Structures are given as C-alpha cells and as structure tokens.
Amino acid sequence: MRAVQLIQTGKLLEDRDVPIPEIGPVDVLVRVRAAGICHSDAHYRAGISKMDNVPVTLGHEVAGRVEKAGAEVTNVAPGDRVCLHYLVHCGTFKFCQRGLEQFCTTVQMIGKHRDGGYAEFIKVPATNAFQLPDEISFEAGAIMMCSSATALHALNKARFKSGESVAIFGFGGLGFSALQLAQALGCGQVCVVELNPAKLVSAKKLGAVAIDANEGDPIEQIREATNGKGVYVSLELIGSAKTMRQAVQCLGILGRAALVGLTTDALSVLPYPEIINKEGEVIGVSDHLASEIPALIEFARNGKLSFSDDAIRVVDLDAAQINAALDQLQHSIDHVRTVITQK
C-alpha cells in the first residue's frame, strides 16, 4: 500500500510502498478516507518532538471504513464508518483502569509511536475505533479526533458549567472547536483572543466577542467585555508563556485557566492578586480520553460542532502536497485544517 512516512527527522516526508498491516484477533484494519494534518505533525517532521520510531507513517487524526476485523472484535464490523482515538494503551495498568489512558506507561500515539493514517490502511485495536454516524463527514470525523477532542477535554478539565463565560486564546483548530463546544454546553459570553484578522472575523461570525490582540492589552478588552468581572474559564491554546499569563490574568473570582498549548518557557504569575485572592486555578490539559469521544460525536451529529467547507482544505495522499501543507503550518493559516482525503 502507499504510505507517506517520516524517514528521518528534519527531512521531508517521503512516499513509500509498504506492506498492508496484518491484524491480530483484537485489531481492525481501517481503509483511511480522511487524515488531518496537524501542527504536531510539523513538530514531528522537524524533530522538535522526540521521534524514537522512524521510519513511521504520520497521521493521528483518522477516519475511514473498517476493512477487516479480528476474530474477537465485537464493537465494529467490516464496512462500518469509524473514527479512531489516537492513544493505543494497555488497558490494565493503574491509570488505564481509571480511564486515564494518556498516562499509560506503554501508551502509543498513532502517527508518532506507531504507524498512523497517512496511508491507504491503518491497523489499530478495535477499542480505538468509534462508530462515525452517516451525518458526519470522514473529514470532520478525522479532525474531531485531535483538536475537537482536546478542546472538549480542556472544557471538562476546567469543570466548565452552563452559563459561565469563557476566554479562548488562539483560534486555530482547537479554538474553533472550543468555541462551538462551549456554546453547545450553554456558555455565557465567549471572548476569542487572536492576532489573525481572518480568524477574528470567523470567531465573530460564530458569535464570539473578537478580541484583537493587535489593538492593545487583551486583558483590558476582556474586562471591558465582561463588565469588569473577568471570565470563569480561560483556555490557552497557543503555547506561549505570554498568553498563558494573560489566561490567568483574565480570570474572575473562582476562575479556572486551562493550559493546553505547549511551551517549556517559565510562566510567571503574581500569586496573591492573580490566583490566591480570587481562588483561581491553573489546570494542565494533556490529550483527551476515549471516554469523551461519544459525547463529541453526539455534538457533531446534532450539528452543534461543524466544519464548514471553507474551514477544510483537502490534499491527496502525496508526500509533496503533505510537505507543502506542513510548511504552511509554520505560519498562521486562515482555514482550520488541511485533510488528506482518499476514495
């Protein structure tokens, strides 16, 4: 089968011809119909994230049709439309048993530690496959498996409740989903902080207060939009110490800041005025959980989470096109996601 692989970090991805994976009794073989191209993939290609298992087929946002199912598989059958949870875990160790598989000591992410969806077929344990209803396109199903799922996990980790106000820092794939999910959960006012004019326009179109960080201090703008109160929940989706600090500073009383973007830079906050005095919380968010995926699929099925045609660009399963899409991710792109589609 054809696959687009990372052969060596720091080098371009390459077209390869590789064997179709053999499945075991608990696995499924999925014919890939859509695979999202994520910012993380650009990091993997560049070697910013440690890649121990090259050559590897990238692609952790995957949807398709079950081609073959192992003898012990009961949750899906050949022909089913499915989307794939990207963390393959053991299911038996302490954190796995608590449903916190992102802390599994042997966890493997598809498209990083094991072969992913930039290929004609992918093998995963059947427990990673979730039925994708006909109302949801393969493209949307794929994208949902990373940014939307993580956005929902961030809202869950922040214990977001109906009626609460939200500030979203960064309106890429995560922010686009976070806004819609917050609205689906019955949020109060939502402020979206961005620098990219096209993204500010689309946030406003979706009903958010667009906070243009080019136009002065976003904290002041958020305070103004919330009658001086600040927000209950803030989501930092950019991965910069500066916006993380802002995500803490914009909190109101009992506010919770969920940090999702990745950075190793030090975060400085003023403990008394910015956290203690308002009993604020700073919460780390890592990946998302298989147990959150059914709710996510339900939001998408009801149209509460959707990706319009102009949010998605499509490319072929072709190394040159995929490398070009990864290059684009080094700058702010106007659309939400580029997706590799196959018939």
Contacts with Zn ion, residue ranges (CB under 5 A):
38, 40, 89-90, 93, 96, 104, 146
Q: How far is the CB of 293 from Zn ion (least distance, A)?
A: 14
Q: What is the DSSP string of 37-82?
A: E-HHHHHHHHTSS---S-SEE---SEEEEEEEE-TT--S--TT-EE
**Burial annotation 66-92 (CB, 10 A radius, 16+ → b, else e):** bbbbeeebeebeeebbbbbbbbbbeee
Nearer to Zn ion, 146 or 203 (CB): 146
Smallest gap from residue 106 Cβ to Zn ion (A): 6
Nearer to Zn ion, 224 or 327 (CB): 327
Element (H, E) at 249: helix 241-249
Determine the length of the chain: 343
Comparison of 151 and 225: residue with beta carbon closer to Zn ion? 151
The tokens describing 271, both together, are 């403990």
End-to-end CA distance of the chain, in Å? 14
Q: Which is nearer to Zn ion, 40 or 177 (CB)?
A: 40
Q: Which is nearer to Zn ion, 149 or 247 (CB)?
A: 149
Q: Which is nearer to Zn ion, 164 or 287 (CB)?
A: 287
Minimum separation from the CB atom of position 272 to Zn ion (A): 37
- The minimum distance between CB 287 and Zn ion, in angstroms, equals 10
Instruction: Between 89 and 288, name the residue whose CB sits nearer to Zn ion.
Output: 89
Tell me which DSSP letter residue 285 carries.
-
In single-letter form, the type of residue at position 140 comes to: A
In the complex, minimum distance from the CB of residue 35 to Zn ion, in angstroms, rounded to a whole number = 10
∠ CA(289), CA(295), CA(296), 5° rounding?
80
Residue partners of 252: CB distance under 8 A and separation at least 6: 165, 226, 229, 230, 231, 232, 278
Nearest distance from residue 213's CB to Zn ion, in Å?
Answer: 24
Task: Quickly tell me which residue has 């998605």 as its tokens.
Answer: 312
Q: How far is the CB of 89 from Zn ion (least distance, A)?
A: 4
